[in-house]
Amino acid sequence: MTATMLTAVVHGSAKHPRPDHKYSYGTAGFRMNASLLDSVMYRVGVLASLRSKCLKGKTIGVMVTASHNPAQDNGVKLVEPLGEMLDQSWEVYAMDLANAASDEELVNAIKAIVASQHIDLAQPAAVVVARDTRPSGTALVASLQEGVLAMGTKFTDFGLMTTPQLHYVTRCLNTAGTTDAYGEPTTKGYYQKLAVAFKNLANGFTPLPTLHVDAANGIGAHALREFMAVLGSHHLNVDIVNADTASSEKLNFKCGADFVKLNQKASEGLEMIPGQRWCSYDGDADRIVFYYCNSDGTFKLLDGDKIATLAAGYIMALIRTANAKHIDGSDLKVGLVQTAYANGSSTRYVKDTLKVPVVFTPTGVKHLHHEAEHFDVGVYFEANGHGTVLFSKKAIQAFEVTAGKSDAEIKALGMLRTFADLINQTVGDALSDMLMVEAILLNLQQSFESWDKAYTDLPSKQEKVKVLDRTLFVPINADTELASPKGLQAKINEHTKNFSKGRCFVRPSGTEDIVRVYSEAETPQETEALSNIVCGIVFDCHGGVGERPVKFVKTT
């Protein structure tokens, strides 16, 4: 490092002392109580600068958010030039910098990155940042800025944005002036791109009944209001609730996508009437779930699995109608990527009814996104409502060069090109995904009830078991089986086969000494029984700690 840069980094770091805390960077980046993040933010500013320099000056994005966590938490994650999550190999560097306990350790960690990545520190670099509505965000961005400027890097603060908007802007900045230009790198450009695409897909249709949107009292409320001002109400009617971004204590509190998914009920205080259509965003608007209540008032959830099957089925149908082919005449590859947490009924429906291949990956959006890139059209959604659809360059090319021979083919090709614009391909996006679902239902003239009837979810249950050492549990085969402890998987298989449509897997938490047990079967009673048997085996034979839950079944 140059002496001037070294002095600047060390001098700046002294203003952001590191607390006695072990930091870990995962899929969500760094995420914890906001009071612990000041030093991390400064060092992430240094890291983002290094990443930009490593990539020859490409702009790196930084998002300050804790997503669906409560308001007192915050977090930070880095965004790659095309809107992807940080390259996994750099997660270790993030932790090395965050956990450096002295000036000397910090400098040595920076030097190690520079040496291993062959970084030219004289390379101009650029970092952009945005934040959600959490009150701690302003000060944390200021800390980040100091780290960026200490490295001599250009810094741009976009202020308040949803997480998907920051991903979108980052990609736009890095593709501007190329054949892959993604759009105008502003929120205005984002809204206009989505609005034009949605209008094209909605033209000629009467809007569906009002969509009631629970915005989790987060940044999504602000974004949706701004978008509707651009779109107008001729094609879409929305009613925004839980939109109080001024009262930070309300953020994600008994509301939002995570609350609805986990509790299988509407956000607190919302009165649902049969026939109404509802959806919920999370705090930073990167995930969404839909729901309604049927004629007898029963709550019905349309989660990420339902969104994925709707999208995969409709896009596959369009490709078949359009007869879209690669230039060499070969078929486009369409695939759905799921995790072990996807409901078994959804997997069977996609494979057997839609005839779309399904691939499983370990839990975590980064794994899903990477696997989806292997298809010409790759659909992925976690059950929690986080996901998107990826169109490869070859797919876009096929939509453009295929010569439609009939009106139906020409229309389908145009719709495929438009869906590629409507869907935010950088990351899961509540607003974009909402519009995608609305456009599909509009074109199918389909209600939530009709969408829901495509398949019926198997009853499922997730249970936590406290254990002495979670590292003893080693998952394999996309988290669906265990390599160790020895003999545990055989016992799980032995008991699971006794239940109709039974499925069960055990996987360790990434952050605490618990393991999660997922079970599903044909009836709620069978699901509960299977769960209690496997939880009992884990607790009794593999290091369960604390008070033993009475419901856990003894099998020995």
Catalytic site positions:
67
Sheet of strand 288-293: strand arrangement: 238-241, 211-214, 277-281, 288-293, 299-302
133 annotated as ligand-binding: no
Sheet of strand 59-64: strand arrangement: 30-33, 73-79, 59-64, 126-131, 154-160
89 annotated as ligand-binding: no
382 annotated as ligand-binding: yes
Question: Nearest Cα to 519, choosing from 265, 341, 337?
Answer: 341
Name the residue with tokens 């502003």.
Answer: 186
282 annotated as ligand-binding: yes
Strand-strand pairing, 277-281 and 211-214: parallel
Assigned token pair, 352: 């057997």
267 annotated as ligand-binding: no
Assigned token pair, 117: 């990545």
511 annotated as ligand-binding: yes
Secondary structure of residue 265 in the 3-state scheme: coil
404 annotated as ligand-binding: no
For 17, 76, 153, 376, 378, the CA distances from 391, given in Å and listed in that order, are 44, 28, 33, 6, 7
Distance CA 118, CA 108 (A): 15
The length of the chain, given as a count of residues: 556
| Close Cβ partners of 554 (under 8 Å, ≥ 6 residues apart) | 536, 540
Assigned token pair, 380: 């992925």
DSSP secondary structure, 502-529, as one string: -EEEEEE-SSSSEEEEEEE-SSHHHHHH
384 annotated as ligand-binding: yes
286 annotated as ligand-binding: yes
510 annotated as ligand-binding: yes
Distance CA 169, CA 114 (A): 27
Distance CA 238, CA 241 (A): 10
48 and 29 Cβ atoms separated by less than 8 Å? no
Q: How far separated are the first and last CA of the chain, in Å rounded?
A: 62
Point out the annotated binding site. Answer: 67, 282, 284, 286, 382-384, 507-511, 516
Point out the annotated binding site for substrate. Answer: 382-384, 507-511, 516
Point out the annotated binding site for Mg(2+). Answer: 67, 282, 284, 286
